[in-house]
Amino acid sequence: MPPQRRRQIFEWKNYFLPYGIYDFDQTYAIQDIAPLKKLDIPLAELVVDTQRYFDYHHSVEDTFDKVNKRELLLGATAMTQLIFMIDKNW
């Protein structure tokens, strides 16, 4: 995203730190959203701890019942807060 937008989001970092969200320095996108970058769309993603991620990911066992509800809610809350802040400040 444009540098001025990245700087603005970086300024919000302290709001997210208490929840273990700390890496605001990445400038690349993972495969799932990378095609949007070519369309010049600002991107943000939640990068999760991959310690258990690939136990199920893209396997026949990759079903919704394997999702840790607490982790899903924490991630959804973090992304919702980011979207809210963008909506109110951009």
Dihedral sign (CA 44, 68, 13, 90): positive
Q: Which of 67, 24, 66 is nearest to 45 (CA)?
A: 24
Predicted confidence at residue 86, as pLDDT, reads 92
State the virtual CA torsion across 59, 64, 68, 70 in degrees, nearest 10: 150
pLDDT of residue 3: 83
Task: Give residue-wise pLDDT tens across range 39-86.
Answer: 888 888 888 777 877 788 888 988 989 888 998 899 999 999 999 999
Confidence of residue 87 (pLDDT cuts 50, 70, 90): very high
Per residue in 5-37, pLDDT (tens digit) is 888 999 999 999 988 888 888 777 777 788 888
